[in-house]
Amino acid sequence: MADSKPQAYISWFCPFAQRAWLALLEKGIDFEYKEVNPYDESERVKYLKINPLGLVPAIVHQGHVVYESAICIEYIDEQWPETPVLPNDPYRRAYERIWSDHISKKIVPQYYAMLLKQSHEDRETARKALLEQLVVLTDAMDKEGPYFRGSAFGMVDMMLAPFVARFPVLKHYRGFQVPTEDRYARFNRWWAAVKERKSMEKSTPEDERLVDVYKGYAAGNPTMS
């Protein structure tokens, strides 16, 4: 049981930080939100004193710092056991971690490739791979859903949702959209449920702000304006 209020270091635009933010909101944890702009030099220097790696998200609690979004989620789940984000059973937990890993290795890189790659051919390759890997993921989902493992919103959902919430950025700069055909029906059903969650409404910036903040990336320059 935790006896002090955690601080969550977050950048409002960062999808990795949003993952940890979702976990805190879903679990109803009382936390202190601390905005960080890692691209502002003076803020970055100050922040390095708190987290030597200078990354978001970071959870500071009882004098310790936890970082890496998936590790933050697991820490949050273990430190505050009510409303669990991961299931109890060891195999179900492994399954959740396997598919979180799939998102990080096979889906997230394609999102960034679509933005950063400068050739149309490279972007097309990324687009096809992104759609393919989304289907691989949704094939692993509980058939009923609507969430990854069924009726409970959990870790895999939190690992993916922030990136799908940023698909409007890909639409604006690359004309990307997930099709509505049968192949993507499970994905679209998942997203329809996920985007309605209060935690998502609270932590997802408006499309216009996201499009604006990612314009550097779309020009091949991975920095925030």
Structure tokens at 117: 């790659």
Structure tokens at 124: 């097309």
* Angle (CA) 55 57 61, round 5°: 110
Helix (H) or strand (E) run with residue 213 in it: helix 207-213
Judged by CB, which is closer to another protein: 64, or 120? 64
Candidate residues 45, 71, 185, 192; the one interacting with another protein per rule CB under 8 A: 71
Residues 178-207 within binding reach of another protein (CB under 8 A): none
User: Does residue 75 bind another protein (CB under 8 A)?
Assistant: yes
User: Does residue 64 bind another protein (CB under 8 A)?
Assistant: yes
Candidate residues 35, 101, 132, 196; the one interacting with another protein per rule CB under 8 A: 101
Three-state SS at 60: strand
Shortest Å distance, C-beta 37 to another protein: 23
Residue type, 143: K
The count of residues interacting with another protein (CB under 8 A) is: 19
Shortest Å distance, C-beta 147 to another protein: 20
User: Does residue 122 bind another protein (CB under 8 A)?
Assistant: no
User: Does residue 79 bind another protein (CB under 8 A)?
Assistant: yes
Structure tokens at 38: 């890692």
Cβ(23)–Cβ(77) below 8 Å: yes
**Which strands make up the sheet holding 64-67, listed edge to edge?**
32-35, 7-10, 58-61, 64-67
Contact residues for another protein, defined by CB under 8 A? 61-62, 64, 66-68, 71-72, 74-75, 78-79, 90-91, 93-94, 97-98, 101
